[in-house]
């Protein structure tokens, strides 16, 4: 009668200490969280500067340079105080709603569909957009 061979080694290879992995994972999460907050803060500051620059921009006297510019100065002049108020409110808000920031970015960056740049969109739409943003900023702060 033959005897069975028994395995005398370990069932699983030795592993690293359990405390090393979670600490590395937590540090990565904290670093990503800080980086995300820093990016949102930078984006907020850029939008504030962009709003102020748009509100304070005067029409260029040169006809050739003015022709290449997308900004409709009469629209920006009509909502100048609204743009400056929104910039001040956004600057005071430490953690604004991302939807508000996205709406402002769309208003300032999208030349085709923006109510600020598109003359075929009625000016009341621009006023409604800015009123909505301002009211959401005030309630969020």
Model confidence pLDDT, tens digit, residues 67-98: 555 567 788 888 999 999 999 999 998 888 88
Tell me, yes or no, whether 131 lies in a domain.
Answer: yes
pTM of the model: 0.69
Q: Domain for residue 88, yes or no?
A: yes
The encoded tokens of residue 94 equal 């430490």
Range of the domain at 44: 21-140
1 is a domain residue: no
pLDDT (tens digit per residue) in 57-66: 866 666 666 5
Q: Which two tokens stand for residue 96?
A: 């604004």
- Please give the tally of structural domains in the chain: 1
Residue 84 within any structural domain of the chain: yes
Contact status, residue 140 vs residue 97, Cβ threshold 8 Å = yes
In a domain, 14, yes or no: no
Q: Is residue 7 part of a domain?
A: no
Specify if 12 maps to a domain: no
């Amino acid at each position: 009668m033959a005897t069975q061979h028994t395995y005398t080694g370990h069932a699983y290879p030795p592993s690293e200490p359990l405390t090393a992995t979670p600490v590395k994972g937590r540090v990565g999460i904290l670093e990503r969280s800080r980086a995300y907050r820093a990016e949102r803060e930078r984006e907020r500051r850029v939008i504030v500067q962009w709003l102020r620059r748009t509100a304070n921009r005067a029409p260029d006297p040169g006809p050739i340079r003015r022709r290449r510019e997308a900004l409709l100065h009469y629209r920006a002049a009509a909502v100048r105080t609204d743009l400056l108020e929104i910039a001040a409110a956004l600057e005071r808000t430490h953690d604004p709603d991302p939807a508000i920031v996205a709406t402002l970015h769309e208003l300032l960056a999208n030349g085709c569909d923006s109510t600020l740049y598109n003359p075929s969109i009625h000016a009341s739409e621009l006023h409604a957009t800015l009123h909505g943003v301002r009211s959401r900023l005030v309630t969020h702060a």
